[in-house]
Structures are given as structure tokens and as C-alpha cells.
Amino acid sequence: MHNPVPTQTPAHKNFDLFDFLYKYGTIITIVALIIIFAVANPAFLQGSNIINILRFISIVTIIATGITISLSVNGFDLSVGSTASLANAIVISMFVWYSQNMLVAIAAALAAALIVGAFNAFMIVKVKIPDLLLTLATMFIIQGVALTYTKGATVSQNMVMPDGSYATGMISPVFAKLGQVPWIIIMMVIVVVLVHIFLTYTKHGRYMYVIGGNQEAARLSGIPVNKYKVYAYLLSAIFAAIGGIVLASRVMTAEINAGAPYLMDAVAAAFIGFSVLGAGKPNAFGTFVGAVLIGILQNGLVMMSVPYYAMDIVKGGVLAFALALTYPENLSP
């Protein structure tokens, strides 16, 4: 009679500080910033200020979800800021210069963004220019196109036209509501939820992750790699345009290069989001958390009256600290 083989109890897993920081570093940073800013200024935690933060991050989050999609196929789209600027200029000009209705104005802005996305996709997929270099070039091209289109002027209601007359078109009151609370926040939530579901739970999203993980393996398994890369850049441009459209609704004018300031915040949000809750890949929820970190930091610095010329130093330092926490494998022995 054989003696029964003793069952082994699994060894207790030791606490791994680096793994913990990888999963929760961003959230720890957010909590720390909330405590610091609330102590420095109790008004930081007031409901109206929380709404201000959410309103601020709405446009950043929408643009950053487009970058997240391009990152999912191991790409990178640096042209989103300029695309947002172009969409911003077109949608306002359609109202002010051409007296078009809201559907035509939004459709024109989205169509322009699709052209940008198609150009990026063609040059990256077919001509095989590295995405970082190509979208950097596109950023300058589209920035120039937007400036040429507006002739370097701010587009607004009752503006003076080149012939000396006044623009007669009016911005739709319905369009004006898109950039107001709660609609701007609702749009952000819808975008995050839809992109999260798309990337996590659909066949197409999983294919994008496979391509991002190992392009050659994806190709050998029958996934049409080039087609999904084209989709990624088209979607990235569309979300950049939506961000520009929402920005137009919020400020009711088209400023010169209005989308440019959102580029680096959106890039930072997307990269910070990689590690939120240990995801280890681009994801919409993590991108949203990254945008929350940036929004809290920006708002808190303003409330603490940090001089504008020093704000980027503090902002960059905290973001570098957050990224160090979220990529602890670089620090681990």
C-alpha cells in the first residue's frame, strides 16, 4: 500500500514593493497630491473645484484616448494636438463664416481629421516611415494648415473679415452646451467607457493588443496587421477632433493652435495609464487616471499661486516621479 503523497501548501508570497508601486504608484501619487493641496488650501476639496478639475481633464482625456489606441498597436501619434487645433478652427468657422448648422460643422471637422489620420496611416503603413518621425512632421504640417486656413486670426462671432465686413454667422446654442457641465464630463465618461470596452472586450481590440505585443506573431496568426494600424490612426485622429470640437464649444472661439497645449498632457496621461492597477499596456481607464493626476496637479498649483513660469518645473517633476513609480522594474535590483 502506497503512502499518500503529502499535499504542499503554497508558499506565502512575500510582499513585493516594486510590484506594489507598479500597480498603485499613480493612485498613491494622486492621494498624496490631494492631501497636500487640501492642507494648503481647504477650498481644493470643494465640490465646485472638483467639477473644475473634471471639466479641465475632459478634453485631455478624450485626446489621450486616441493616443492610447495608437499605442495599443505599438504606434505613437504626435499629431493629435494639431488635429485638435484644425478641428477647432473648422467647426467654429463653419458656424461663423459659412452659417452652417451644427451637423455640417461637426461633420466637416471630423472629415478633416479623417484625412489627417488617413495620411498618417498611409505614410506609416505603406511608405514605412517610423510613426514618431512621421507624426512629428504631420504635427507641423497640420499646424500650418490650420494657421493658413484661419490666416493666423482668432475665429469668433462678429469678427472682422478680410474685406472689412463683420462675420454674420452665429454659433448654435445647442453646440454651445457641449462644452458646459455636465455634458462635457458625460462625453468624457462615454468616450472612456466605449474605448475601454472596445480594447478589452472586442475581437478588434484584442487584435490591436496582439499587434502591439508582437507584430510578427500577429501577422503569422492571420491578423491583418496593416488594416488594424490604419484603424488605429484613423481613430486617434477622430478622438483628437472630438477633443478640438469640445474645446470649441467650451470657449466659443477658435484660437491659434488651440489644441497644442493638450498634446503633452495627453501623452503623459496615456503613458502613466500603462501601469494603473497593473494593466501593463495602454488602456482607457488608466489613461483617465493619468489625466486625473495631471488635472489635480494643474489645479492645485494654480490654487497655491505657483507662478506660471515655475509651474512646468513642478508639473514635470511630479510627472517624472509618477512615471518612476509606475515603471519600478527600472529601479528594482
- Per-residue pLDDT tens digits for 228-278: 999 999 999 999 999 999 999 999 999 989 999 999 999 999 988 888 877
**Mean pLDDT for the stretch of residues 163-186:** 93
How confident is the model at residue 276, as a pLDDT? 86
* Predicted confidence (pLDDT) at residue 88 exceeds the cutoff of 60: yes
How confident is the model at residue 329, as a pLDDT? 54
User: Which grid cell is 178?
Assistant: 457641449
SS3 55: helix
- Per-residue pLDDT tens digits for 35-46: 999 999 999 999
Whole-model pTM? Answer: 0.92
How confident is the model at residue 23, as a pLDDT? 83
Categorize the per-residue pLDDT at 328 as very low, low, confident or very high, splitting at 50, 70 and 90. Answer: low
User: Which grid cell is 163?
Assistant: 474685406
How confident is the model at residue 3, as a pLDDT? 54
**Mean pLDDT for the stretch of residues 142-153:** 94
Supply the DSSP string of 243-310, one letter for each residue: HHHHHHHHHSSB-TTTTTHHHHHHHHHHHHGGGGGG--S--HHHHHHHHHHHHHHHHHHHHTT--HHH
State the Cα–Cα distance between residues 54 and 56, nearest whole angstrom.
5
DSSP alpha helix (H) spans, the chain: 17-40, 47-72, 80-96, 102-121, 131-150, 173-178, 183-201, 203-213, 215-220, 225-251, 261-272, 284-303, 308-326
